[in-house]
Structure 1
Amino acid sequence: MSSFFNWWSASYTTEVRYSKESPLVVTKEQHSNTTSVGLRDFVERRCPSLYSEFRPAWWLPNGHMQTLYCVLGKFSARDKVVYKRTLLRLLDGGTLGLDFTPVDDSHLPPDTPIIVVLHGTHRRAILSPACMPVHQGGLGYRAVVVNFRGCAGVPVTSPQLYSAGHTDDLRQALFYISHRYPEAPLLGLSFSLGANVMTRYVAEEGERSRLKSACILGCVHRLFATYIGRHVYSKGMGRNLVNLLKRHLGTFNPDHEVAKAAAVTIALTNPTIDLFDEHFTRIGGGSSPPWPFASANDYYEYSSSHNVLSTIKIPLLAINAADDPVVQDVPMDVEGDGWVIMALTPCGGHLGWFEPDEGWGQVRRWIKRPVVEWLRATGEDFVRSPPRWRPLHEEGGFLKEVGIDRLGCRELDGSNIIVGTEGEAGLLAGL
């Protein structure tokens, strides 16, 4: 009874922070007119759900319960999404899998916004309404999920996997997407480790970002600071990553340093995420400088997205939960030119945010409402200044940016239909 009383009487107000200086943004108003307003005013008017109370379902009252329900709950029937996969071969020999939805988009105008998604099974709850036709109550957008090397059935064809600090794979995927849909604004949406990658990308690119806006959820800053985090979540993630490495070990040249690191890593008897990073990620998490790192701590220090927020030049909304048992020490200070908005719910776990729905024991994700509002606002209402990205050109069959010779991609022949989230099973697979 005391737990129920605490749940009923607690305050569930979301804390939203902006920088002291809110930049002016140009927005579309009625009759195609435009006006300039402060970013804070824009968000408050276009994203009212961000300020709404999130009260968790009474039987999922804390971060651990919310997080575990992400793993154990069955959501495929409610939020079913079908994708068509395109494989990209990168200049370094690696392969990415781009999953596009809807499968048949021939009816959509060429300037339809595209949601570019990184990592996480949790995306279905947002992509389902965002890509639903307008006449059915959705936004009518396209979306593309960028699957990292080795994830969700994507083959490993070079001596590298993925990491929180390697942004070149996203960068090359955006070459292809922006070339295929040159009139479409690209809206970033990312989860957990993918959120860290996307944040670093938009910070590194500044005004050259190919993303018009970004929304990041459950961004990784400091992992597994709690006892349960170290002994449950960290071990679960460590086992998942070692199993992933085992599946792809035979694709590495045995004489390569990444293959040697992989052999040592899969021999670990009780792998945790930090041990995996110490033995493998610092070496095989990237294929260009500053990789390899001397230690996992050096990799963590380099990869932290919090250190680069001040250089972001597009609207970025970051939403985290204060009781997230996976991600600890969420920074709320906002620096730079004011393009970053930080939101913190008092509860919600790691990418959970389950609240009561109609029917006994039924839940829905609160996070869906503010994120869909954000996508609509930045996709349709926000008018971006002409971006300064580098032009694309083709060289040797690879699509490249002018002035950057080390990166490039080309489409591989063949495609296949992906239903739901094939290949993403396992404890915290969406981290």
Structure 2
Amino acid sequence: MPITLFGVPSRMVVAQVRQNIIIIEFTGRSCQLSGHMQTLYCVLGDFSARDKVVYKRTLLRLLDGGTLGLDFTPSDDSHLPPDTPIIVVLHGLTGGSYESYVRAILSPGCVPVHQGGLGYRAVVVNFRGCAGVPVTSPQLYSAGHTDDLRQALFYISHRYPEAPLLGLSFSLGANVMTRYVAEEGERSRLKSACVLGCPWNLAANSSKLLTTYIGRHVYSKGMGRNLVNLLKRHVSTFASDHEVAKAAAVTMALTKPTIDMFDEHFTRIGGGSSPPWPFASASDYYEYSSSHNVLNKIKIPLLAINAADDPVVQDVPMDVEGNGWAIMALTPCGGHLGWFESGEVWGEIRRWIKGPVFEWLRATGEDFVRSPPRWRPLHEEGGFIKEVGIDRLGCKELEGSDIIMGTEGEAGLLAGL
């Protein structure tokens, strides 16, 4: 009799359980698609007509001059109680709140319970320069820079002080979120975290991408091209004599750069604005930013799900060093942020991953009782929301807000990576 996991006994069953390691056997129709097919469908598929989400955007100005875009849904949440759980989302490499993998969970997750949803609020934290967010300081974002998430959580906690905050993140955003909860430990403002497709060991996974033709010329160069295109949109905002602007000019002159080339020429310099940035090399940036070596520091419930056939993330840690807070789940199929299966209706393709994610969010949002968190208190200083004892960080809401249609992506960028 198989042991079921997350209430999906007909398709996903636990094959092995060792300490906090879950190796999952998936018996559904998703395994008819290879990891490459799942990943490429995530990139090239047309998801504009499904999982529509309407967001209300709030722009945050950070103490260093940077800007974040926080997209809240439902856009009118006045009917929800103040203690309604909030799903805090970080997107992938060059994505945003419009990504299909984000909407696949938030669209049903934020509808009322009587309609089959969770009835939660959600907010997508769009990185600097992503999803139409302006770049207003000489910095973009990176896998190792956690301060932007930290400051966004200042604001969300201040705006909804009674609400439990549940982390949900994808790919690069998953690495950022994992590092954040590890750095904060018992002070984490997130009550739990679910990280999907996390790249973990950045050096190992970047290196393995380059060993195959499709890895180098499709995935690595595709991500490199996305990043260069994103950089081109915002390079004019950098002062020409700034080191970040100089790095951007060199990077944009590269011919078909792979992601490691982009990181070597730009991310190690422009991926953060405070020590330990800038790094001497991409290798140093990878060593600092990787999340596989901080799992033992996590002090909140964390569920990490990766797919064994993910062509982008091939090196996945399955050792949490005895940390009872972290659970590692590995599915044999799913590609990178795919986890597709055929639906009941002919021609329908859906993401089955929302089932286990929903159960995790519901369990940690409603059933898990957390001991009183040891947050540093928030206070306002000069209009900025700050944490007591951390003077270098702060955020304030900018005037005005926009209604954002979640299906409107970024032209010229490959989605889903």
Q: Same fold (TM over 0.5)?
A: yes
- Counterpart CA distance in 1 for 2:314 and 2:154 is 34
Match of 1:71 in 2: 43
For 1:355, the equivalent position in structure 2 comes to 341
What 5-or-longer segments of structure 1 have no aligned partner? 1-10, 21-39, 45-49
Alpha carbons 1:237, 1:429 under 8 Å: kept:
no
CA displacement 1:239-258 (0-9 Å, x = unmatched): 11111111111100111100
Tell me by how many angstroms 1:77 deviates: 2.0
CA contact (8 A) 1:114 1:144 kept: yes
Q: For residue 401 of structure 2, give the secondary structure of its aligned residue in structure 1.
A: strand
Distance in 2 separating the partners of 1:150 and 1:332: 33
Does residue 219 in structure 1 map to residue 198 in structure 2? Answer: yes
Stretch of structure 1 that moved more, 146-155 or 125-134: 125-134
Q: How far does residue 363 in structure 1 lie from its aligned partner after superposition? A: 1.7
Matches within 5 A, 1:41-120: 53-57=26-30, 61-120=33-92
Gapped runs of 5+ residues in structure 2? Answer: 1-10, 93-98
Match of 2:261 in 1: 275
Distance verdict in 2 for CA 1:394–1:18, change over 3 Å? farther
1:151 alignment partner in structure 2? 130
Displacement of 1:309 in angstroms is 0.5
Contact kept, 8 Å, 2:383 with 2:396, in 1: the verdict is yes
| Cα deviation, residue 269, structure 1 | 1.3
1:323-365 residue CA offsets vs partner (Å, 9 max, x unmatched): 0001111111122431000000001100111112112232211
Give 1:15 shift.
5.4
Gap change, CA 1:131 and 1:339, over 3 Å in 2: same
Which whole-Å CA distance do the structure 2 matches of 1:226 and 1:17 have between them? 32
Distance 1:275 1:56, change over 3 A: farther
What is the SS of the residue equivalent to 1:71? helix
Q: Give the corresponding residue for 1:263.
A: 249
CA contact (8 A) 1:101 1:144 kept: yes
**Structure 2 partner of 1:383:** 369
2:223 match: 237
Q: Residue in 1 aligned with 2:383? A: 397
Aligned in 2, Cα 1:277/1:56: closer, same or farther, shift over 3 Å?
A: farther
Deviation of residue 426 (structure 1)? 5.0
Partner deviation per Cα, 1:197-242 (whole Å, 9 max, x = no partner): 0000000000000000000000013232541112211111111111
The code of the aligned residue for 2:251 comes to T
Q: Which of these residues, 199, 214, 238, is aligned with residue 252 of structure 1? A: 238
Task: Tell me if 1:296 matches 2:282.
Answer: yes
- The answer on whether the counterparts of 2:298 and 2:326 sit within 8 Å (CA) in structure 1 is yes
Residue aligning to 1:318: 304
Would the alpha carbon gap of residues 220 and 425 (structure 1) be closer, same or farther in structure 2, given more than 3 Å must change? farther
TM-score (norm 1): 0.88
Q: CA RMSD in A?
A: 1.9
Deviations 1:56-87 (A, max 9, x none): 447x5210000011012222322111100000
CA distance in 1, matches of 2:46, 2:84: 31
Given candidates 173, 197, 202, the residue that maps to 2:176 is 197
Identify if the C-alpha distance between structure 1 residues 331 and 75 changes in structure 2 by more than 3 Å, giving closer, same or farther.
same
- Residues 291-326 of structure 1 show CA distances to partners (whole Å, capped at 9, x for unaligned) of 000000110011110110000000000000000001
Contact 1:94/1:158 (<8 A) preserved = yes
Distance 1:234 1:144 in 2: 29
* Cα distance in 2 between the residues matched to 1:16 and 1:178: 38
Q: Do the aligned partners of residues 16 and 167 (structure 1) sit closer, same or farther apart at CA in structure 2, a change above 3 Å counting? A: farther
Q: Which residue of structure 2 lines up, in the alignment, with residue 413 of structure 1?
A: 399
In 2, the alpha carbon distance for the partners of 1:372 and 1:272 equals 35
Match of 2:185 among 206, 218, 241: 206
Q: Secondary structure at the match of 1:116?
A: strand
Match of 1:131 in 2: 110
State the SS of the aligned residue for 1:413: coil
**CA distance, structure 2, for counterparts of residue 142 and residue 313 of structure 1:** 24
Shift of 1:153: 0.1
How many angstroms apart in 1 are the aligned matches of 2:412 and 2:310?
Answer: 19
Identity of aligned residues (%): 84
Q: What CA deviation, in whole Å up to 9, does each residue of 1:152-178 have, x standing for no partner?
A: 000000000010000000000000000
For 1:173, the aligned partner's letter is A
Cα contact 2:240–2:246 (8 A) shared by 1: yes
Aligned to 2:219, what secondary structure does the other structure show?
helix
Tell me the alpha carbon deviations over residues 31-76 of structure 1, each in whole angstroms, 9 at most, x when there is no partner.
Answer: xxxxxxxxx9xxx9xxxxx967353447x52100000110122223
TM-score, normalised to structure 2's length? 0.91
| 8 Å Cα contact 2:42-2:415 kept in structure 1 | no
For the residues of structure 1 that align with 2:142 and 2:416, how far apart are their CA atoms?
Answer: 13
Distance change (3 Å), C-alpha of 1:56 and 1:408 = same
AA partner of residue 192 (structure 1): S
Equivalent pair of 2:229/2:413 in contact (CA under 8 Å):
no
My pick for the range that moved more, 255-264 or 218-227, is 218-227
Alpha-carbon distance in structure 2 between the residues aligned to 1:104 and 1:386: 30
What residue identity is the alignment partner of 2:391? D
Equivalent position of 1:370 in the other structure: 356
